[in-house]
């Protein structure tokens, strides 16, 4: 059954973005526009996957979307607190979690989150409560006084995502969050992403993966990054698939998803 939905307002606008490092252009003419998805009876954010072969500029695009790298041309806009007044992304406005789930090695999980909350502008008086609330919700209360080196992979994943949520708000970019994880951890991360995705209307998760079936299962929009032509080795968006419009978003995995995954793989292999 196709779920009904409507869209309203832009939550992410990537406009003609190019990045050149030294003399080498890594990505160019990247355009993406995402709208706030509204579903009756659901607090539903957006889940966007970026797929493509290695070396097509996914990580560069992610660093640009998170403001960690300035685009050489173009701009990236996200909504501000004021309605109809978008802002350009800067360092910290969009949360970023790398595939190693990096944390500060010298801070306990609790102190990592406290620091993130402070940087996120949460008033001092509310920080402890907010952090403890998240720790309980994500099942990390027993690990709160542990340092990252004493945490399991799953605990580190949760802590890294939580710290970004506390500091950056609704936007979260994850660079290959499923890379190198065992089956159990993959399921944990999927649950975490769904939890974040359904926590607020504006929650927007952008992730990259080489597992196309996983992208089709989780995302409601998929962008394929590749080379526009073999002679010009610069990454750009070569295809996009709107799973909402196709009636595949928020549905159990089916034969239609498998067919779509095949189409996406074809688009990847051709670029």
Partner 1 sequence: MASMKKLVTPFEVLKAPHNLALVAFWLVAVIGYWYLSTTGQKHLLPSPQSVLRGLGEEYQEGLVPHIFSSLSLCGQATFWALLVSLPLAYLSTLPLFMPVIQGISKFRYLPLTGITFYLATSPLISSGRAMQVGVLVIFMSVYFVTSLLSVIADIPQEEFDHARSLKMSRWEVLWHVIVRGRIDYAIDILRQNLAIVWMMLVTVESIVMSAGGLGTIIKNADRYANHGRIFAAQLVILLIGILLDYLLSELRYSFPYVNRGSKN
Report which secondary-structure segment, H or E, holds 32.
strand 24-38
Q: In what order do the strands lie in the sheet with 221-229?
A: 87-88, 73-78, 6-21, 24-38, 232-242, 221-229, 46-51, 204-208, 171-174, 95-97
**Is residue 208 close enough to count as binding partner 1 by CB under 8 A?**
no
**Is residue 105 close enough to count as binding partner 1 by CB under 8 A?**
yes
Q: Which of 100, 128, 142, 232 binds partner 1 (CB under 8 A)?
A: 100
Q: Scanning residues 54 to 93, which ones bind partner 1 (CB under 8 A)? A: 63, 66, 68, 91-92
Q: Which of 45, 79, 95, 235 binds partner 1 (CB under 8 A)?
A: 95
In b/e form, how buried is each residue of 159-179, taking b as 16+ CB within 10 angstroms? bbbbbbbbbbbbbbbbbbbbe
Query: Per-residue contact track with partner 1, 107 to 146, x per CB under 8 A?
Result: --------xx--xx--------------------------
**Is residue 157 close enough to count as binding partner 1 by CB under 8 A?**
no
- Smallest distance from the beta carbon of 157 to partner 1, in angstroms? 13
Strand pairing class (171-174; 232-242): unpaired
- Smallest distance from the beta carbon of 248 to partner 1, in angstroms? 31
Q: Which of 138, 147, 250, 253 binds partner 1 (CB under 8 A)?
A: 147
Phi, psi angles (nearest 5°) of residue 82: -85, 130
How far apart, in whole angstroms, are the C-alpha atoms of residue 150 and residue 160?
14
**Is residue 106 close enough to count as binding partner 1 by CB under 8 A?**
yes
**Is residue 103 close enough to count as binding partner 1 by CB under 8 A?**
yes
């Amino acid at each position: 059954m196709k779920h009904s939905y409507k869209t309203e307002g832009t939550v992410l606008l990537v406009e003609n973005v190019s990045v050149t490092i030294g003399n080498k252009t890594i990505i160019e003419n990247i355009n993406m526009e995402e709208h706030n998805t509204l579903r009756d009876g659901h607090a539903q954010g957006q889940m966007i996957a970026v797929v493509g072969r290695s070396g097509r500029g996914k990580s560069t695009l992610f660093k640009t979307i998170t403001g960690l790298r300035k685009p050489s041309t173009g701009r990236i806009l996200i909504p501000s607190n004021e309605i109809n007044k978008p802002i350009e992304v800067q360092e910290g406005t969009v949360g970023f979690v790398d595939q190693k789930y990096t944390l500060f090695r010298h801070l306990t999980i609790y102190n990592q989150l406290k620091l993130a909350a402070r940087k996120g502008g949460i008033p001092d008086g509310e920080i402890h409560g907010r952090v403890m609330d998240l720790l309980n919700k994500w099942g990390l209360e027993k690990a709160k006084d542990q340092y990252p080196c004493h945490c399991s992979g799953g605990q580190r994943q949760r802590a890294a995502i939580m710290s970004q949520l506390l500091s950056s708000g609704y936007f979260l970019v994850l660079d290959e969050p499923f890379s190198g994880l065992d089956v159990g951890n993959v399921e944990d991360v999927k649950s975490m992403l769904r939890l974040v995705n359904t926590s607020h209307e504006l929650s927007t998760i952008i992730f990259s993966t080489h597992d196309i079936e996983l992208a089709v299962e989780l995302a409601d929009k998929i962008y394929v990054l590749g080379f526009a032509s073999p002679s010009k080795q610069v990454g750009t968006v070569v295809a996009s698939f709107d799973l909402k419009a196709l009636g595949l978003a928020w549905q159990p995995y089916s034969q239609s998803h498998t067919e779509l995954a095949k189409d996406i793989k074809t688009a990847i292999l051709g670029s």
